[in-house]
């Protein structure tokens, strides 16, 4: 599904790394630099302008999962 976020609002994304006792549970958050959203190192997404974007969480071993976010005016 698509997550809807209003421009000017924020959303906290979370990622679960398995197993729970993983040696390096770090996750890196990323999104395209198209100005629709920004995402910080903790997964906090800020809606900047209307559009659709994919935000990706990548674990230290290279596995990733993405979500689609639609920002509305």
Query: Which tens digits make up the pLDDT trace of 9-66?
Result: 999 999 988 888 888 889 999 999 999 999 999 999 999 999 999 999 999 889 999 9
pLDDT at residue 23, rounded to an integer = 87
Chain centre distance of CA 66:
7
Instruction: Look up residue 46 and give its DSSP letter.
Output: E
Instruction: Look up residue 15 and give its DSSP letter.
Output: -
Collapse the DSSP code of 42 into the 3-class scheme (helix H, G, I; strand E, B; otherwise coil) and give the result: coil
**Cα-Cα end-to-end distance for the chain:** 20
């Amino acid at each position: 599904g698509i997550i809807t976020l209003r421009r000017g609002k924020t959303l906290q994304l979370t990622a679960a790394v398995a197993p729970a006792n993983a040696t390096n549970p770090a996750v890196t958050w990323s999104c395209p630099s198209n100005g629709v959203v920004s995402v910080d190192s903790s997964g906090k997404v800020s809606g900047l302008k209307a559009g659709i974007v994919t935000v990706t969480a990548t674990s230290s071993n290279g596995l990733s999962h993405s979500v689609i976010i639609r920002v509305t005016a």
